[in-house]
Amino acid sequence: MASIKHHVLDRPHFDIPTKLLIVVSPYYKEVAADMVLGAKAEIEGASATWELIEIPGALEIPTAIGISERMANFDGYVALGCVIRGETTHYDTVCKDSSRALQLLGLQGLCIGNGILTVETIEQAEVRADPDRQNKGGAAAAAALHLIAISRKWGNHGKDIGFKTTLNENQLTSKAGFTTT
């Protein structure tokens, strides 16, 4: 597996300031620290800025991103954490639920790079987290940056989907057959 080469997209460049929130669970502190280093380097390499918050576990990461989206002003998010298989089915729940929640937030339009590692051993996590090896923190930041770039490219092109009206409130209420008082 170590000999497999992966294609990496060129880093996007931004004409306007870009700010990301790194949401990390430091449950496995050294793994999380390596992932954060990789994410920060990737974000700074794109001339973007970042803030960092720590959350107790992987399940809380999507909730923190959802809260931030409602209450703060970030262009994108980097979700970082690590789940290592244990003796119970809790591993399966945490992996599936955190991933699914991040996916649902993404489908709502949030630009999220998912860097929550799901591994069998701490050694696997260390290899994936290390910025000089697999650099999954940097990869998650790159994913978020690419999604931001796509969102900005297409963000000003509205589509006529759903209910849109050009009528003012009085015209709308009279056409609907009722009036407001």
DSSP annotation of 158 reads: -
Instruction: Decide if 90 is catalytic.
Output: yes
Per-residue pLDDT of 35-88, as tens digits, reads 999 999 999 999 999 999 999 999 999 999 999 999 999 999 999 999 999 999
Domains detected in the chain:
19-175 (3.40.50.960)
d(CA 165, CA 76): 30
pTM value is: 0.84
Which whole-number Å values give the CA distances from 38 to 114, 118, 129, 164, 167, in the listed order? 13, 18, 8, 43, 51
Q: From the candidates 6, 7, 13, 90, which is the catalytic residue? A: 90
Phi, psi of 38 (to 5 degrees): -65, -40
Task: Measure the CA dihedral 90/94/97/98, to 10°.
Answer: 180
Please write the tens of the pLDDT for every residue from 124-179: 999 999 999 999 999 999 999 999 999 999 986 555 444 544 555 555 444 444 44
